[in-house]
């Protein structure tokens, strides 16, 4: 593009705010900015709204959060008119919900789709961000608002030879809209995190052969998904206010009651009974409604691990396979615990095989399949369920340059620095919804709370005539230290030795630093409010 064209585009598009992303956070941000009457533009890399739920169309994709809480709470009318069908809604149902939200609140008009933001430069003189999108367009904006999600930058390990594979391959988070026909095919799944665990049972019956390449076994609790009863469907409508309050008071923004007992304090019989009941309830009930001390007491955690391993041994018929699937040597919950549907049962099928790549890694993708150090395998299709460059990746994949051209990726090369996830020093008016060092908790609630904070902040700045906001260097250093301390006071930080994304440990070459807050979403929301009430303590306003 010539300079002249560039300048024409610069001036034709000057706005108050640019929103990046049209998932849960971006749509709500658009709704709030629309209400505020701000002149803004949204950019979305995907072909439509939905974020995670637009991209992750892989077989078996669904939430691990109960449908009654995996939704917005900003509109009672919206809740009243939407009815979930399953306990854990499928990708298609969540996407339909977000599409409904976009239509109902007339939000699509603000977004340019199929258009990633590639670069953003802060121009000190004009106090504007120059936001460059993939189509070459440059938008000038006072605020740069990222709503790019925690888990949206796919991680494809740099496998040698992938370009020579003659079959079809896909990363789970870039699953084609038209799907992939796996019927009667020889299929490999690489990865056994929350995603792989959903894909494996979903495709086992239709493929000819399924080979699962597992590096670290996970503690998989059954989701216990099923259709909701009419009464359950009415629950979020009937108890709108109390559910809204409850999710905001829970450390993981989920509508659970703390059980009020510790595994260490009860008899063996009582422990088994509680675990059994929590297992039957499924998913996060097991972690959050069994005992209070699983994340902090090693012995209690080990009781939970033993219980899960005993379930694996009960379900999986072949003892060598059961042993391979049994996690050992790291605490339950220190990797994000997945919820499965017939996960362990699937390994009893004669066409399903498991290959341990913990000590015999995948070294190459070949024209006909893949090769570990000791063996070669042939496949028609390879599915990489290899996760994400979490938390920071979705932000730093955009080349964001602050004052004096400082690169955000460079600034965070030893780990993210933000005050409460919202802002980082040297990058004025860059505000992040669910940003790095914000809590890992039920996402829709975190989206709403962080967007509310951002929009309240913009309003405050307008009312008080402030031109810029950014974190103070001290506040972000203290926050990053606190985030790390909190994780290290529990067993959570131990996941680093088994590559947890919580610590950036799943990405080769990425700094190992805790990148999400485990001190409680409720605690975090209160801290955000306290800072705002004190005139944005920890932030510099000019
Ligand atoms: P993940 O948890 O990071 O799992 C990636 C998997 O790929 C791991 O099993 C990992 O092994 C394996 N892997 C990575 N590189 C490999 C290599 N070179 N060779 C062999 N194996 C390799 O990613 P994910 O399953 O996509 O899930 C990420 C997060 O997304 C979840 O923790 C969750 O928060 C969210 N998610 C949520 C849902 C839901 O709510 N239903 C569903 C899917 C995802 P190691 O463990 O050894 O590193």
* Residue range 351-373, pLDDT digits in tens: 999 999 999 999 999 999 999 99
The rounded percent of the chain whose pLDDT value lies above 70 is 98
The pLDDT of residue 66: 96
- Regarding the beta carbon of 501 and ligand 1, being less than 6 Å apart is answered yes
Query: Is residue 497 pLDDT above 80, yes or no?
Result: yes
Query: Is residue 342 pLDDT above 50, yes or no?
Result: yes
The pLDDT of residue 248: 97
Residue nearest to atom 11 of ligand 1 (CA): 215
> DSSP secondary-structure letter at 509?
T
The pLDDT of residue 11: 41
> DSSP secondary-structure letter at 229?
P
Query: Is residue 5 pLDDT above 90, yes or no?
Result: no
pLDDT-derived band at 9, boundaries 50, 70, 90: very low
Q: Which tens digit of pLDDT belongs to each residue from 420-441?
A: 999 999 999 999 999 999 999 9
Q: What is the mean pLDDT of residues 236-254?
A: 96
What would the 3-class secondary structure string for 58-100 be? CCCCECCCCCCCCCCCCCHHHHHHCCCCECCCEHHHHHHHHHH
What is the Å distance from ligand 1's center to 333 Cα?
Answer: 14
The pLDDT of residue 6: 40
- Please provide residue 182's backbone torsions phi and psi, each rounded to the nearest 5 degrees: -105, 0
What is the Å distance from ligand 1's center to 150 Cα?
Answer: 13
* Ligand 1 atom closest to the CA of 157, numbered from 1: 18
Q: What is the mean pLDDT of residues 39-53?
A: 98
* Pocket-testing residue among 95, 169, 191, ligand 1, by greatest number of atoms within 8 A of Cβ: 191
The pLDDT of residue 360: 97
* Ligand 1 atom closest to the CA of 216, numbered from 1: 47
- Regarding the beta carbon of 151 and ligand 1, being less than 6 Å apart is answered yes
DSSP assignment of 242-298, as one string? HHHHHHHHSTTSS--------GGGS-HHHHHHHHHHHHHH-TTHHHHSS-TTTTT-H
What is the Å distance from ligand 1's center to 219 Cα?
Answer: 13
Query: Is residue 531 pLDDT above 60, yes or no?
Result: yes
**How many Cβ atoms sit within 10 Å of the Cβ of residue 522?**
19
* Ligand 1 atom closest to the CA of 357, numbered from 1: 20
- Please provide residue 212's backbone torsions phi and psi, each rounded to the nearest 5 degrees: -100, 125
SS3 state at 118: strand
* Ligand 1 atom closest to the CA of 386, numbered from 1: 7
In the chain, the largest separation of any two C-alpha atoms, in whole Å, equals: 77
The pLDDT of residue 13: 84
6-10, 240-244, 288-292, 340-344: least confident range: 6-10
Q: Where are the alpha helices (DSSP H) in 262-390?
A: 268-281, 285-288, 298-315, 319-325, 343-346
**Burial class of residue 74, CB neighbours in 10 A (0-12, 13-18, 19+):** middle
Query: Is residue 327 pLDDT above 70, yes or no?
Result: yes
Look up residue 372 and give its two tokens.
Answer: 């570990």
The pLDDT of residue 17: 98
Mean pLDDT over each residue of the chain, to the nearest integer: 96
pLDDT-derived band at 12, boundaries 50, 70, 90: low
The pLDDT of residue 259: 95
Q: Report d(CA 123, CA 222) in Å as an integer.
A: 51
Q: Which tens digit of pLDDT belongs to each residue from 306-322?
A: 999 999 999 999 999 99
Q: Report d(CA 259, CA 128) in Å as an integer.
A: 50
β-bridge partners, 383:
170, 189
Q: Report d(CA 329, CA 132) in Å as an integer.
A: 46
Query: Is residue 177 pLDDT above 80, yes or no?
Result: yes
What is the Å distance from ligand 1's center to 270 Cα?
Answer: 33
* Ligand 1 atom closest to the CA of 56, numbered from 1: 43
Pick the closest to residue 370 from 486, 522, 215, 211 (CA basis). Answer: 211
- Regarding the beta carbon of 389 and ligand 1, being less than 6 Å apart is answered no
Tokens 């005539």 -> residue: 465
- Regarding the beta carbon of 388 and ligand 1, being less than 6 Å apart is answered yes
Q: How many residues does the chain have?
A: 542
């Amino acid at each position: 593009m010539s300079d002249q064209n560039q300048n024409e585009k610069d001036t034709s598009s000057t706005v108050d705010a640019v929103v990046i992303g049209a998932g849960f956070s971006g749509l709500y941000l658009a709704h709030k900015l629309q209400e505020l009457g701000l002149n803004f533009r949204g950019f979305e890399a995907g072909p439509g709204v939905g974020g995670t739920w637009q991209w992750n169309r892989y077989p078996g994709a669904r939430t691990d959060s109960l449908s009654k809480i995996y939704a917005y709470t900003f509109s009672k009318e919206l809740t009243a008119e939407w009815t979930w069908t399953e306990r854990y809604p499928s990708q298609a149902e969540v996407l339909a919900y977000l599409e409904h939200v976009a239509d109902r609140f007339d939000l699509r008009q603000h977004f340019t789709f199929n258009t990633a933001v590639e670069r953003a430069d802060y121009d000190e003189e004009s106090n504007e961000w120059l936001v460059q999108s993939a189509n070459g367009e440059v938008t000038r904006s006072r605020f740069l608002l990222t709503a790019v999600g925690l888990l949206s930058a796919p991680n494809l390990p740099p496998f040698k030879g992938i370009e020579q594979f003659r079959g079809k391959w896909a990363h789970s988070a870039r699953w084609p809209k038209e799907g992939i026909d796996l019927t009667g095919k020889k299929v490999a799944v690489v990865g056994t995190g929350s995603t792989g665990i959903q894909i494996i049972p979903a495709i086992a019956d239709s493929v000819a052969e399924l080979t699962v390449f597992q590096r670290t076994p996970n503690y998989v609790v059954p989701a216990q998904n099923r259709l909701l009863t009419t009464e359950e469907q009415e629950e979020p409508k009937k108890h709108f206010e109390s559910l809204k309050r409850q999710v905001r008071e829970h450390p993981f923004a989920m509508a659970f009651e703390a059980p009020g007992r510790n595994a260490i304090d009860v008899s063996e019989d009582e422990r088994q009974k509680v675990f059994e009941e929590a297992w039957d309830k499924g998913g996060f009930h097991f972690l959050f409604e069994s005992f209070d001390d699983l994340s902090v007491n090693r012995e209690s955690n080990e009781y939970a691990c033993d219980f899960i391993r005993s379930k694996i041994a009960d379900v999986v018929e072949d003892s060598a396979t059961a042993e391979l699937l049994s996690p050992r040597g790291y605490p339950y919950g220190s990797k994000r615990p997945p919820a499965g549907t017939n996960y362990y049962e699937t390994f009893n099928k004669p066409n399903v095989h498991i290959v341990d790549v913990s000590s015999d890694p995948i070294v190459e993708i070949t024209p006909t399949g893949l090769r570990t150090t000791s063996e070669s395998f042939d496949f028609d299709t390879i599915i990489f369920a290899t996760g994400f460059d979490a938390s920071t990746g979705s932000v730093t994949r955009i080349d964001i340059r602050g004052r004096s051209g400082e690169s955000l990726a460079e600034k965070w090369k030893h780990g993210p620095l933000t005050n409460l996830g919202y802002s980082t020093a040297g990058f004025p008016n860059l505000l992040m919804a669910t940003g790095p060092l914000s809590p890992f908790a039920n996402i829709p609630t975190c989206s709403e709370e962080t967007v509310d904070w951002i929009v309240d902040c913009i309003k405050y700045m307008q009312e008080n005539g402030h031109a810029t906001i950014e974190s103070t260097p001290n506040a972000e250093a203290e926050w990053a230290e606190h985030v790390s301390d909190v994780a290290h006071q529990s067993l959570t930080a131990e996941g680093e030795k088994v590559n947890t994304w919580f610590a950036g440990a799943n990405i080769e070459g990425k700094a190992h630093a805790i990148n999400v807050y485990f001190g409680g979403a409720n605690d975090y929301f209160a801290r955000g409010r306290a800072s705002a009430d004190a005139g944005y303590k920890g932030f510099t306003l000019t």
